Amino acid sequence: MSTKVLDIDIKKTTNSNLSSFDPDNIIFGSTFTDHMFIADYINDEWQDIRIVPTGKLQVHPANSMWHYGQSIFEGMKAYKNENGEAFLFRPEMNAHRLNRSAIRMCMPELPVEIFLEGLHALMSLDKEWIPDRKGSSLYIRPFMMAWDNFLGVRASKSYRFMIICSPAGMYYAEPVKVKIEQKYTRAANGGTGMAKAAGNYGGSLYPAKLAAKEGYHQLIWTDAQEHRYVEEAGTMNLMFKIEGKLVTSPLSDTILAGVTRNSVLEIGRSWGLETDERKISVDELIRGLQDGTVEEAFGVGTAATVAQIKSIGLDGVDYDLPPISEDSFQVKINTYLEDLRKGHIEDPFNWRIPIT
């Protein structure tokens, strides 16, 4: 990220909103930083690369993004410590995942250097917006959308890539109650589940609303064919500690390859913990909750960070997880990740990228 090859046109705001931002009262996704990054794909080329003051877009009502859903996004964060040092965390993983989503959604790939240099330039401008409170960060939302004004069903020819940023605190304010979903489906084999495609999230809202009426914060999605195996939770990947092992569902075309998922597995292994990426059946999970072999359950994601699961519901029965303590893996990994991302400890993995 240090070699600058891009020519980014920068128009700075003359009307910063920073003074109205209260880092002690953050509502996720509701406040936006002063600047946004834009690159347009026209005539088979990424061009007009720029940073401008954050503001509204003019979009034609026939824009095919509205109608046919060619829209993908990423979620990542920037962190700041008490000394004012700011960092990104494994940003290249997001750049590559964006491109895997783009391929699946028949959209053009974005050169990784546009993603990374654009991000770095934007962060340099809006660094003051990164909150340094415990558990806080700047949520970064890169996204790409179709940009043709055309109602025929075909892949758009033009696209827009953007990055906007929003200060973030905790996504889940309390340990979550999740319900195993056995009617609705998030992703089917051969579908778009592995992509961070907007429609995956839109399709999850109605089942999530039904579960919320029953008092659940989130769903545990199961496989589309038999509703027999646990997949992911939509806003996060799922992890379990079963008989001392860290167990999570294997990546497939129905599961998003989470950056936090990958980081937790790598750190766990470096601590000598046995990890198992394998199918977990609903039967095994419920049996393990009953006989105590499922010791911990938690979600991992960029927005969610490490989210404690307090109970898992199936067919109207809630199965409680044991209480957690300072010795629980999820507590240790959460602290370690926060310290690693914020530069409080050495980074043996070389995952932290300073924002200069």
C-beta nearest to ligand COI: residue: 75
Tokens of 153: 């069903």
How many Cβ atoms are within 10 Å of 349's Cβ, its own excluded?
A: 12
Residues 231-250 that bind ligand COI (CB under 6 A): 235
Nearest residue (CB) to ligand COI, 216 versus 242: 216
* Residue 302 sits in the site that holds ligand COI (CB under 6 A): yes
Nearest residue (CB) to ligand COI, 193 versus 288: 193
The answer to whether the CB of 136 falls within 8 A of the CB of 169 is: yes
Q: How far is the CB of 351 from ligand COI (least distance, A)?
A: 16
Nearest residue (CB) to ligand COI, 75 versus 108: 75
Nearest residue (CB) to ligand COI, 75 versus 288: 75
* Residue 313 sits in the site that holds ligand COI (CB under 6 A): no
* Residue 94 sits in the site that holds ligand COI (CB under 6 A): no
Residues facing residue 89 across a β-bridge: 352
In sequence order, what are the residues at sequence separation of 6 or more whose Cβ sits closer than 8 angstroms to the Cβ of residue 212? none
* Residue 301 sits in the site that holds ligand COI (CB under 6 A): yes
The secondary structure of residue 230, as a DSSP letter, is B
Task: Choose, by CB under 6 A, the member of 194, 303, 307, 333 that binds ligand COI.
Answer: 303
Question: Strand runs (DSSP E) across the chain, as ranges?
Answer: 9-10, 35-42, 45-53, 71-73, 76-80, 86-89, 137-146, 159-168, 176-180, 218-220, 237-242, 245-248, 275-277, 294-301, 305-314, 317-320, 352-354
Residues 201-230 that bind ligand COI (CB under 6 A): 201
Class of residue 191 by CB neighbours under 10 A (exposed 0-12, middle 13-18, buried 19+): middle
Q: How far is the CB of 149 from ligand COI (least distance, A)?
A: 27
CA distance 179 to 220: 6
Piece of 47-55, 110-118, 216-224, 299-307 that binds ligand COI (CB under 6 A) = 299-307
Task: Choose, by CB under 6 A, the member of 41, 49, 75, 221 that binds ligand COI.
Answer: 75
Task: State phi, psi for 76 to the nearest 5 degrees.
Answer: -150, 175
Site track 108-147 with ligand COI (rule: CB under 6 A), x = hit: ----------------------------------------
How many Cβ atoms are within 10 Å of 320's Cβ, its own excluded?
A: 11
Binding site for ligand COI (CB under 6 A): 75, 201, 235, 301-304
